[in-house]
Amino acid sequence: MFNFKLYNFKRYNFYLIAVVIILGLCSSYFVKQAGGTEFGASNFKKQIIGLIIGLAVAIFVSLVDYHFITQFSLVYYIIGTLLVAGTKFSPLGTDLSTGSYRWLKLPGLNFQPAELMKILLILSLAVFLCKYEDYMDQFRIVIFAGIVMAIPTSFVLVQSDLSSSVVMMFIFAMMIFAAGLSYRIIAPILAVGIPAFLVVFWYIQQPYQKLISDYQQMRIVGFLNPELYDNSIMYQQNYSIQAIASGRLIGKLFMNNASDSRGYRYVDVIESDFIFTVIGEEVGFIGSCVIIGLLATVVIMCLRIANRASDRLGMLIAIGVASMFMFQIFANIGVASRILPNTGLPLPFLSSGISSMLSSMLGIGLVLNVGIQTSRSKYGGFSML
């Protein structure tokens, strides 16, 4: 479990921990501002507690050999799948606002299993792809790996959590590519997949479609036709870009500390899905660029650790975590700035919510452990940095 003899602590990435702490402290302030005078202090306290617990989890996991952790990947996979299924098919499943079943309501805690399932899927796929690394030129491996991904993803999808489902699909795509999937397989997949995606995208816009829920369809249709839905389905994103634009170059942080007067007060779920709106208005273009730079640094550090991993398993784990962060950062900021349809994804390390924070910190802990492992075996198939 703790194989300290195999660890090179000179390779422990304290810079990554430092960046995460900075983001967490910034998050506490932005979440406080989002809560206004009524909920600001409470939000701040919860976020600080979440940050402290998350850091403890990250540091602990970083000292546990990921080879030991992945021995139980099948158990994690089954438990995670049961949890995401339970949000829809058990009495504990509930949602706090929209009516979609994304949460398990436990005594004193509302827990979002899909956030944990992303990490458990990364571990399961990493083990699977390592086990069949000599067969990455066979189409059946893609099918089997796809089934590993599709089972929990399907349960997440029936919760009306399309965004988390897409994150899991993206993680799968990046990991199987990094595992060395043959181009003889990639080419036909793209040849069939791209037209199929276009057909599905057209279909879900039709009034008779049954693939996604009505409110998800309206978000897509509203995004494609914003002039028709300015005061209805698009109001969140419209107010969001107005608030971000009002921050201008340096923001309103030092102008007036009364958060109740800010433009982002008109945006729903501002403390989680639209936290970047708060960032844009409070610290302006320059501050937003700094925050984006810190988030990009986290992704780059994860990719560098993946590139220097001691074995294939570690490389795939780090790639999976980097992919998760990468997609969620792009999607959250894209929604807040209205370049993507409204999705409902948290911004890693910055959005409020214990589930998101713990999932992100768990991923950081795994990557840190990959980084301190000494050489075990050589592998091929991935090089980025």
**Interval 276-310: pLDDT, tens:** 999 999 999 999 999 999 999 999 999 999 999 98
Please give the Cα distance from 66 to 313 (Å, whole number): 9
pLDDT of residue 8: 80
**Domain segments of the chain: what residues?**
4-372
Mean pLDDT of 257-283: 82
Q: 3-state DSSP call for residue 289?
A: helix
Strands 93-94, 109-111: pairing is unpaired
What is the per-residue pLDDT for 95?
60
> What is the average pLDDT across 252-266?
72
- What's the average model confidence in pLDDT over 170-199? 90
Mean pLDDT, range 4-23, rounded to an integer: 88
b/e code 345-382 from CB counts within 10 Å (16+ = b): bbbbbbbbbbbbbbbbbbbbbbbbbbbbbeeeeebeeb
| Tens-digit pLDDT profile for residues 307-364 | 999 899 999 999 999 999 999 999 999 999 999 988 888 999 999 888 899 999 999 9
How many CA atoms lie within 13 Å of 30's alpha carbon, on the beta-carbon side? 33
Map tokens 């490389």 to a residue: 315
Sheet of 109-111, strand order? 93-94, 103-106, 109-111
Which residue from 224, 287, 282 is spatially nearest to 253, judged by alpha carbons?
Answer: 282
Q: Three-state SS for 181?
A: coil
- Is it the case that residue 239 has pLDDT exceeding 80? yes
CA-to-CA distance for 35 and 356, rounded, in angstroms?
18
pLDDT of residue 98: 54
Out of 26-35, 97-106, 107-116, the most confident range is: 26-35
Mean pLDDT of the 53-71 span: 94
Mean pLDDT of 24-38: 87
Q: Which amino acid is at 12?
A: Y
214-243 mean pLDDT: 83
Nearest CA among 178, 228, 200 for reference residue 384: 178
**The two structure tokens encoding residue 89:** 């098919």
Per the CB < 8 A criterion, the answer to whether 344 and 159 are in contact is no
- The pLDDT of residue 258 is 58
Q: Is 382 left (phi over 0), alpha (psi -120 to 50) or beta?
A: beta
Q: Given a cut of 90, is residue 216 above it in pLDDT?
A: no
- Is-contact 37 259, C-beta < 8 A? yes
Mean residue pLDDT across the chain = 87
Element housing 145 (H / E):
helix 139-158
Residues 107-119, mean pLDDT to the nearest whole number: 84
Nearest to 306 by CA among 297, 295, 318: 318
Q: How confident is residue 381, by pLDDT bands cut at 50, 70 and 90?
A: very low
DSSP 8-state symbol, 111 = E
Q: Compare 126 and 133 and report the one with higher pLDDT.
A: 126
Give residues with Cβ within 8 angstroms of 164, minimum separation 6: 102, 114, 115, 117, 118, 156, 345
Q: Mapping DSSP to helix (H, G, I), strand (E, B) and coil, where does residue 104 land?
A: strand
pLDDT of residue 383: 43
**pLDDT score at 186:** 86
Read off the pLDDT of each residue in 67-95 and give the average, rounded to a whole number.
86
Banded model confidence at residue 261, pLDDT cuts 50, 70, 90: low
